[in-house]
Structure 1
Amino acid sequence: MSGRSYKDAIHLLNTLQSNAATLEAVKASGGRISALGIPQMVEYLERIGYKQEDLNSLNVLHVTGTKGKGSTCAFVDSILRHTRPGWKVGLYTSPHLVAVRERIRINGVSLSEELFAKFFFDVWDRLETNDQRNPSTTSAKPMYFRYVTLMAFHAFLTLKVDATILEVGVGGTYDSTNIVPRPVVTGISSLGIDHVGVLGRTIGEIAWQKGGIFKEGVPAITVDQPSEGLGVLRQRSVDLKASEFIIVPLAPEISEARLGLAGAHQLTNAGLAVLLSQKFFELKESVAPQKTLPASFLEGLKDARWPGRCQTVNDPKYPPITWFLDGAHTAESLDCCIEWFVSPSAALKLKGDEKSTRILIFNCTHGRSGSSFLGVLLGKVAAQLQLHVSRESFHSFFDKVVFCANVTYADGSFKGDLTAVSIPADDLALLKSQQELAVAWASMVPTFPKENIHVLPSIEHAVRVVREEARRGRLVDVLVTGSLHLVGGLIEVSGLSDVAL
């Protein structure tokens, strides 16, 4: 091994990514391949020197859901840190925006490059040294997400955290995070219907997967869900012997609280976070919930940050530019995004007599229906304009639209942490997905000027279009959405890390 720097760690980590063919095989298997995930993950954990029971000492709050799970985790993290400032609180989330080390945080701060490299090579060396495994089912090294999950467990155990907020990667039942024998409390955010059409699953099947994080003797908490999903979750809590099944009640106090995360949908996530935190302190410290929220809870809600989600960033280098960042990658999350953006607090905010030039930068993951996403976007823009009694037309709401690949730089290269091998090569070379988006936009908005529809090969190209507009002396409002990888790449290219992360 040539070196052991952060850059070396990222290079090796990227060799563990699943390519497009592998991802398609998992999807085609209907989850059967994923079913091997738990025994394999336990095997990897033991190979790096831990037993499953060791994970109980992390005092885990385990959270899943189709949408809002990351925001819920951010609220919980902030509440715990404000309530117990002397604690060491671990937070594990995915994906990252700019740097992989964002996924593993201690007291709200990403692991340093030095610590990330240390924990990466600790795990790497232990797997190399202890190669006792079932070779018919388990590879020498786990794939990307499993590897980082192992790193997170190793880091949190080594640093002796007092509490751990653990966000599920995908699903729940077979997710790599689901090997903690006894978390303190489990929670489920909103079950969306987006994946039903994409993966051919019912809301009940999705609920069954999510409910797989319930554990015997552990409280199971969920926000209100569609009736079919709620029924399945309730039954899962019985089958898995959860100590109680709680549906988050409507709390006027939360509705009146100031939230650090924008968007009306965050009220639901904040309510779940509050109940998870209350139950955690009740079980760990015998602190009964108060009739009114403690000041530390309210401060935690107010100070919560979750970059790249309904986030407004003023560009420090190009003051005329305001970036509106939301990595919405499902139809329902895109609906929430537009509800936030097309409102008096964002794009409809009065700025004197000058009207801002509005630019949409959009991309969506390979395999998703881009045209249907654009239909959701345009339909919601129209509905929001009507709601706010605006004279604008949804046809001309955006002045320019940019469909670009998630490639970071104009020379075709990726930032190391943002390297993606899951994009099919022919799709990337021909900009197939982006061309399809452009055609769909032109058909949905036939009056839109063709010269203002851009198909571009990189995020850096898209940033150039925005900056050129700003150089003409115009105010520019830019909505960047459809992909968290797109948002992360834009933060990197635009030099917004210091103000956005």
Structure 2
Amino acid sequence: MSIRTYKDAIDRLNTLQSNAATLEAVRASGGRQSEFAIPEMVEYLERIGYKQEDLNKLNVIHVAGTKGKGSTSAFANSILHHVKPDWKIAVRERIRINGTSLSEEEFAKYFFEVWDRLEMNDVRKFPQTPAKPAYFRYVTLVAFHTFLTLKVDATILEAGVGGTYDSTNIVPKPIVTGVSALGIDHTAVLGKTLPEIAWQKGGIYKEGVPALTVNQPEEALSVLKQQSIDRKASEFSVIPETPELADIKLGLAGVHQVQNANLAVHLARKFLQTQDGFQPTAQLPKSFIAGLENARWPGRCQIVADPRYHNTTWFLDGAHTTESLDCCTRWFVSPEAALRPTTGKRRQRILIFNCTSGRNGSSFLGTVLSNAAAQLKLYGSDEERDSFFTHVIFCTNVTYADGGFKGGTDIDLTVKNDLAHLKTQQDLATAWSSLVPSFPTQSIHVLPSIEHAIGLIRELASTRDGDGDTNVDVLVSGSLHLVGGVIEVAGLSDVAL
């Protein structure tokens, strides 16, 4: 048999229905597809040779929420790594072991082991079950298989867009479960009310397992509490504040990260109590503090100095809701980021932005601009909102100029026609012009790929004036896929991942 490569794995993966298409199918079915999600996922797990109970060996911290679950997972991972450096700690997001993603060779190996087992064991328990799971479910299966094969000591399992019916929710007995913030911004996107979303997220609570949550709106909190009762959780706790967090410089930037760090602290405490006999102390242990200070999560409030173009600094945040863009802008327009002192050279600020078709791009851009104005006033800057950015670039998530995508990128096949006509990007450009009528039209760019955008950045960064080189600050936001593509095309992988 010929060697099957990482590219072969990605080509196969991209033949599976995307997350976006799956969500649309669930909406169209009125939610009827959701009731089959867990039985189908268990069926796939059994077809690749595992029982549900095998997943308990992963020692899972399960996290759900609409905001902050990724940051919470990153903080929890870092805390455990600093407390137990000899442990093998896995994170489902990007399939990471001890903070490092699988190599391409490793990913291809585990990917095809799952693929081949599904091919060989094609007997269906449920007639409606597709031969292969959808994209996110398949990656989750690969993660489970990888972590069981490597016999990890702990697993941080971040739910996808759901909870109750999420593909990660087949672990019978996690060690501890937690729900991060539930934002109303997701209600329109998911077509659910806040109590309905709370019911979904509370679906990760399990019998005999501690059920934690951050403070939530009352209508959501009551639903989460009822879920913990109905699912017979060992306890339900709205976590108290950790006073020391006010004095810790967290590894993930932004004031909103304090709540996520706090949830991670409580999750890690519960986990270590159960797994390692950890006894909580009045003050945070030094190992917890070190974990919080050194937490990293690529693509979220991340500052990256370009390793080759020394006058260029990248500010990466895949914020894709109004609420997360609010946090992103408050982080970017601050003394630690775009308002930091410079050496007197001329500065250009460039926004690279995209959003999923169907989201309210005009509202998103309005959030960026209104928050920029508020932040400039807050810090006593004499800069104007309308001229804060010197260029704005609206490009697709297509990675390369020839139309190719970054390996592993989940692109909904139904948007290809939209990409071909750059409709979303044209709409964003029109919205920007409407919001900032004085903005020079020649500084608004609609481009067909990330590679085109990086090419323009390089061109603008090479501009010289009487004071020498121009400092270029580039904010990339609106889409995690966009951020991932920029990291690849701009050559930032070694310093950003």
SS in 1 for 2:408: helix
Tell me if 1:18 matches 2:8.
no
Query: Comparing 378-387 with 127-136, which one deviates more in the overlay?
Result: 127-136
Q: 1:59 to 1:85 in 2, by over 3 A?
A: same
Separation (CA, whole Å) in 2 of partners of 1:104 and 1:420: 19
Quote how far apart the aligned CAs of 1:105 are.
Answer: 1.4
Separation (CA, whole Å) in 1 of partners of 2:30 and 2:339: 43
Separation (CA, whole Å) in 2 of partners of 1:490 and 1:213: 34
Contact 1:366/1:423, CA 8 A, preserved across alignment: no
Separation (CA, whole Å) in 1 of partners of 2:284 and 2:261: 12
Separation (CA, whole Å) in 1 of partners of 2:112 and 2:401: 32
Q: 1:130 to 1:21 in 2, by over 3 A?
A: closer
Separation (CA, whole Å) in 1 of partners of 2:120 and 2:428: 48
Contact 1:219/1:245, CA 8 A, preserved across alignment: yes
Tell me if 1:92 matches 2:92.
yes
Tell me if 1:246 matches 2:242.
no
Quote how far apart the aligned CAs of 1:108 are.
Answer: 1.3
The aligned runs of 1:410-449 (5 Å cut-off) are 410-418=401-409, 420-422=411-413, 424-449=415-440
Q: Gaps spanning 5+ residues in structure 1: where?
A: 94-102
Match of 2:303 in 1: 312
Separation (CA, whole Å) in 2 of partners of 1:51 and 1:471: 57
Separation (CA, whole Å) in 2 of partners of 1:20 and 1:66: 16
The aligned runs of 1:209-248 (5 Å cut-off) are 209-248=200-239
Tell me if 1:396 matches 2:402.
no
Match of 1:100 in 2: none
Match of 1:495 in 2: 491
Match of 2:153 in 1: 162
Alignment equivalent of 2:349, drawn from 358, 362, 365: 358
Tell me if 1:184 matches 2:180.
no
Alignment equivalent of 1:106, drawn from 97, 100, 103: 97
Contact 1:20/1:424, CA 8 A, preserved across alignment: no
Match of 2:461 in 1: 470
Separation (CA, whole Å) in 1 of partners of 2:402 and 2:266: 48
Quote how far apart the aligned CAs of 1:434 are.
Answer: 0.4
| Offset from partner CA, 1:219-265 (integer Å, 9 cap, x none) | 01111111211111111111111111111212121121121111111
Match of 1:99 in 2: none
Q: What count of residue pairs does the alignment treat as equivalent?
A: 492
Quote how far apart the aligned CAs of 1:22 are.
Answer: 5.0
Contact 2:66/2:182, CA 8 A, preserved across alignment: yes
Q: 1:223 to 1:465 in 2, by over 3 A?
A: same
Separation (CA, whole Å) in 2 of partners of 1:117 and 1:137: 28
Q: TM-score, normalised by structure 1?
A: 0.95
Separation (CA, whole Å) in 1 of partners of 2:110 and 2:240: 40
SS in 1 for 2:165: coil
The aligned runs of 1:4-403 (5 Å cut-off) are 4-18=4-18, 22-93=22-93, 103-134=94-125, 136-403=127-394
Contact 1:363/1:403, CA 8 A, preserved across alignment: yes
Using the aligned pairs only, state the percent identity.
67
Match of 1:97 in 2: none
Quote how far apart the aligned CAs of 1:113 are.
Answer: 2.0
Quote how far apart the aligned CAs of 1:71 are.
Answer: 1.0
Quote how far apart the aligned CAs of 1:20 are.
Answer: 6.0
Separation (CA, whole Å) in 2 of partners of 1:204 and 1:121: 40
Separation (CA, whole Å) in 2 of partners of 1:4 and 1:317: 33
Separation (CA, whole Å) in 1 of partners of 2:347 and 2:372: 16
Amino acid at match of 1:53: E
SS in 1 for 2:62: strand
Query: Comparing 129-138 with 289-298, which one deviates more in the overlay?
Result: 129-138
Separation (CA, whole Å) in 1 of partners of 2:379 and 2:401: 39
Separation (CA, whole Å) in 1 of partners of 2:142 and 2:44: 11
SS in 2 for 1:418: coil
Quote how far apart the aligned CAs of 1:196 are.
Answer: 1.4
Separation (CA, whole Å) in 2 of partners of 1:25 and 1:318: 44
Q: 1:139 to 1:83 in 2, by over 3 A?
A: same
Amino acid at match of 2:209: V
- State the superposition RMSD in angstroms: 1.5
Separation (CA, whole Å) in 1 of partners of 2:277 and 2:23: 45
Separation (CA, whole Å) in 1 of partners of 2:132 and 2:340: 51
